[in-house]
Chains A and B, each alone.
Chain A
Amino acid sequence: MRPLFKTIVLLLGAGTLSTGVVSSERLDAALAGSFVDNGQATLDRLEQDPVQQACNQSRSTPPDPAIASNLRQERLDAVVFPLDGEFLGDWQRGAEVADNGRGLQSSDDPEQPNGGNCYACHQLAPDEVAYGTLGPSLTGYGARGQSEPMLRYTWTKLWDTHAYNLCSHMPRFGAQGILTEQQLKDIMAFLLDPASPVNQDL
């Protein structure tokens, strides 16, 4: 019953929310009136893009399949791969990116590099016990090898996870400009290089 209701609501217009209880006017007014620019964290950050719109419509349940597959394809088409064709950087730098939880907060220095904060959600190097569980363990990720498809798959997950898993909780590190191309290459190495601590258990 609920999926049918959602489809009808979505077809009626982008302005309607899936619950119908809180109007989009009320929501927009509440958002506009409740926040202020704070350092680099400005109000324009609340503007919605297609991924956020689709995922906010459906909340925790997966979005309508027709909409989902189109959006996933769009995200996949928009992935920017390294121009020089080199996917792997330096795993030691990658380890730092994974460990660094700063970046883009009002309290952060915009001059400093952003971090990936990977340990917030994932287990990575087996000797690091301070890891979160919101995402799957990535320990031993390098066992997957470095075939071209695996490199492209891993890069895509980091760039924009919604290309494969629409409405995943994971941030879009490439598509949203959180990490630079070099930082992403370094994370790739941290995950895939056999010498990386992530793969020392193998």
Chain B
Amino acid sequence: MIKKWAWLIGILAMPVLSDDGIFDEYRDLMGDDNPAIFVIDEGEALWFEAQGPLDTSLERCDLGLGPGVTAGAYARFPRYFEDTDSVMDIESRLLHCMQTLQGRERAVLLAKPYSLRGDLGTELEALVTWLAAESEGAVIAPEQAHPAEREMYALGEEIFFYRAGPHDFSCATCHEQSNMRIRLQALPNLTNHDAAAEAFGSWPAYRISEGLVRTMGWRLQDCFRQQRWPGLRLGSDVSVALQTYMAVNAAGGVMTAPGLKR
């Protein structure tokens, strides 16, 4: 009898157990430190390194603000590019530059864009991390002037709520309500501006559990794996559309990446 009451009081007194609450302490201990700093350095070095059959660096890569302009570029993605007549995310734009400026083959680049457990990091992950650091503190401002960009937002919204697979999971299953968690992992409500800004602005991020920096493109791919959906293709319409949906919902927020996550 007493035990039952104690439990009830205990439950009422306990704040909502949130992974991020516990993790905040960890972040405080780390201070400004983030193991992603090494990956930032690697990314910067890769940007300026001559590679491929054309033995050229990525210095003339146009990320939307003009060839070679990297400061603030990440925060404006996804966006429409005339030279490809398509809306692109940062990863597919980087692959495009690797192909056109460096002469590298797309199939080879796509063979292993993301690390597997135990790896030390891939070229794409490092470049994305450096570019995100070049946008640290910038306002999240994905381009929505072009009709194709707006169409991507609408498609992203549609996919966000689209249930499929043996578990009937959509993104919304986990990410359309506020203050929810899965096990002890807090779930951002991506339909809500503040939560979307905090979530979108903190990727790419160093994941302690993997000892690796992971990108937003990877995160979407891994979400679909957990949703029991088939494999998401890098830079695909669904990937770009969902990134557009999140970025637009986050617009006005601030980029804090690279982040630190469990």
Contact = CB atoms under 8 A, between A and B. Distances in A.
A60 B183 contact: no
A38 B233 CA distance: 11
Given A17-B158, A132-B183, A106 B231 contact: yes
Interface in A86-115: 104-107
A37 B231 contact: yes
Contacts of B232: 34-35
A38 B231 contact: yes
Interface string B168-206: 111011101101111110010000000000000000000
Looking at chain A, what size class is its interface with the partner chain?
35 or more
A55 interface: yes
Contacts of A121: 182
A27 B182 CA distance: 29
Interface in B63-101: none
Interface string B251-262: 000000000000
A33 interface: yes
Looking at chain B, what size class is its interface with the partner chain?
35 or more
B229 interface: yes
B162 A56 contact: yes
Interface in A109-139: 119-121, 126, 129-134
Interface in A39-95: 41-43, 45-46, 48, 51-52, 55-56, 59-60
Contacts of A169: 173
A132 B182 contact: yes
A37 B167 CA distance: 17
B204 to A, nearest CB: 21
Contacts of A52: 163-164, 168
Nearest to A202: B4
Contacts of A1: none
Interface stretch (A151-159, A172-180, A181-189): A172-180
Interface string B147-170: 000010011011101111111111
Residue from B159, B170, B183 whose CB has the most chain A CB atoms within 10 Å: B183
B230 A41 contact: yes
A120 B187 CA distance: 12
Nearest to A176: B166
Interface stretch (B41-49, B51-59, B207-215, B235-243): B235-243
A4 interface: no
A11 interface: no
A30 B155 contact: yes
A32 to B, nearest CB: 10
A60 B176 contact: yes
B183 A119 contact: yes
A134 B174 contact: yes
A21 interface: yes
B169 to A, nearest CB: 8
B155 A27 contact: yes
18 contacts: A17-B158, A22-B155, A31-B159, A34-B237, A45-B228, A56-B163, A56-B170, A59-B172, A104-B167, A105-B228, A106-B225, A106-B231, A120-B182, A130-B183, A134-B174, A171-B168, A201-B4, A201-B7
Given A106-B230, A178-B166, 4 more contacts: A21-B158, A55-B168, A56-B162, A104-B166
Interface of B: 3-4, 7, 16-17, 151, 154-155, 157-159, 161-170, 172-174, 176-177, 179-184, 187, 224-226, 228-233, 236-239, 241
Top-5 shortest CB links A-B: A38-B231, A34-B236, A34-B238, A171-B167, A30-B237
